[in-house]
Amino acid sequence: MNALNLTTVDISTDRKRLVILDQTLLPNEIKYLELDDRESIYEAIKKLRVRGAPAIGVAAAYGIYVLARKFDGDDKDGFAEFFRREKGYLNSSRPTAVNLSWALRRMEAVMDDNLQSMTIPELKDRLGKEADDIRDEDIRLSRSIGEHGLSLLHHGDGILTHCNAGSLATAKYGTALAPVYIALEHGWNDLHVYCDETRPLLQGARLSAFEMQTAGVDTTLLCDNMASITMKRGKINIVFVGADRVAANGDFANKIGTSGVAILARYYGIPFYCLAPSSTIDMSIRSGDDIPIEERAPEEVTEMWYKHRMAPEGVKVCNPAFDVTDHSLVTGIITEKGIAYPPFDRAFERMGIR
């Protein structure tokens, strides 16, 4: 079994339900959920059953398509109103990953462009095709990010990653872990991947370590506070992480703890790269100060995963799900269009990212 062959997000064969691999159960159980109502699609995104910025985008695209299909009748204004209401609802499920609103806006643009010229059944089919395109593109872009990332690697390298920006976080291949998958395709068997556990939701332990180990990669799991000693011991040659939203100046939000890894990498002189599709770059946001940061429930820190509560009752808990890494700590940002180096705003412009 290789986790790369698990489908993260899909549409059912009758095209009536969003199909997701429930990532909250990994690595112990592989279970698919078929969802066709607004509350369960919202809940699946909110509870991280489907997670990772690009995968959230694909799930939202299929989600809004599944909901749009439920509209009865041929009233076009009514359809548009229904679509926008469902779009707003899904869009409110998580605030930080820009791919969610990006995918929903792209679906809405398809509706707006075709509302007058198509019948409602034709329009529904057209929305389904757009969702398929978003998924297929994500697979292509992830592969391309992987090729660019591989150009920075050397045989025997140790790569540190934080959270999960692997195949499970996208339609396939991932972003930060894509170079490792492409390396395997080229017959490289000598890379070492170090996965930060990633408190509190353990995406590094449950998902990245699972992906890398099942792909046959030499994999080491470390608690988040062990990154420094691992770097000091000379085990890490390069850091690859994903992003939930990149601002025009290259500041980027990613899973909580990423900015600490970037600070450590700078201290130890280790190159630090962010890998993300251009759909994760939000040129409407000048700097990371403008990125909304999701705050999550205190129980994720005090109780989840433990048999017994591991903190005194009533203690105050801080649980931001993401932090922002300052662009000054970033060696480069690897997109499907190539590798951007500072100053990032100009590099993005040259790449045609607007």
Choices 147-155, 163-171, 187-195, 346-354; region in contact with ligand MRU by CB under 6 A: 163-171
Residue choice 58, 165, 202, 212 for contact with ligand MRU (CB under 6 A):
165
Residue from 53, 100, 238, 270 binding ligand MRU (CB under 6 A): 53
List the interface residues with ligand MRU, window 103-132 (CB under 6 A): none
The residue from 52, 200, 257, 288 that contacts ligand MRU (CB under 6 A) is 52
Footprint (CB under 6 A) of ligand MRU, residues 247-286 = 254-255
Cβ atoms of 127 and 65 within 8 Å: the answer is: yes
Query: 244 catalytic, yes or no?
Result: yes
95 near ligand MRU, judged by CB under 6 A:
no
8 Å CB contact between 107 and 114: no
From the list 187, 180, 111, the residue with the least C-alpha distance to 145 is: 180
51 binds ligand MRU per the rule CB under 6 A: yes
Q: Is 208 in the site for ligand MRU (CB under 6 A)?
A: no
Span near ligand MRU by CB under 6 A; candidates 34-42, 161-169, 285-293, 344-352: 161-169
**Bridge partner list, 221:** 195
**Closer by beta carbon to ligand MRU, 47 or else 70:** 47
* Residues paired with residue 292 on neighbouring β-strands, in sequence order: none
- Residue 61 CB, nearest approach to ligand MRU (Å): 16
Integer Cα distance of 303 and 296 in angstroms = 13
- Decide: is 175 part of the binding site for ligand MRU (CB under 6 A): yes
Q: Applying CB under 6 A, which of residues 9, 48, 59, 227 lies at the interface with ligand MRU?
A: 48
Residues near ligand MRU (CB under 6 A), total: 19
Exactly one of 196, 244, 251, 282 is catalytic; name it: 244
Alpha helix segments (H runs only) across the chain: 38-46, 53-68, 76-91, 98-114, 120-150, 178-185, 203, 209-214, 227-232, 258-268, 299-302, 344-350
One residue of 8, 91, 144, 170 binding ligand MRU per CB under 6 A: 170
Q: How far is CA 119 from CA 67, 149, 217, in A?
A: 17, 44, 50
The residue range among 104-112, 124-132, 221-229, 236-244 that interacts with ligand MRU, by the rule CB under 6 A, is 236-244
For residue 15, give the nearest of 69, 87, 55 by alpha carbon. Answer: 69
Task: Name 238's bridge partners.
Answer: 159
Q: Which of 108, 244, 282, 323 binds ligand MRU (CB under 6 A)?
A: 244
State in angstroms the smallest separation of the CB of 85 from ligand MRU: 25
Decide: 59 and 50 in contact? Cβ < 8 Å. yes
167 interacts with ligand MRU by CB under 6 A: no
> What DSSP string runs through 246-306?
EETTS-EEEETTHHHHHHHHHHHT--EEEE--GGGEETT--SGGGS---B--THHHHTTT-
Residue 340 and residue 230: Cα distance in Å, rounded? 27
Q: 44 or 163, CB closer to ligand MRU? A: 163
Report the nearest approach of ligand MRU to the CB of residue 116 (Å).
36
- Binding residues vs ligand MRU (CB under 6 A): 48, 51-54, 97, 163, 165, 169-170, 174-175, 203, 242-244, 254-255, 321
Instruction: List the catalytic residues.
Output: 244
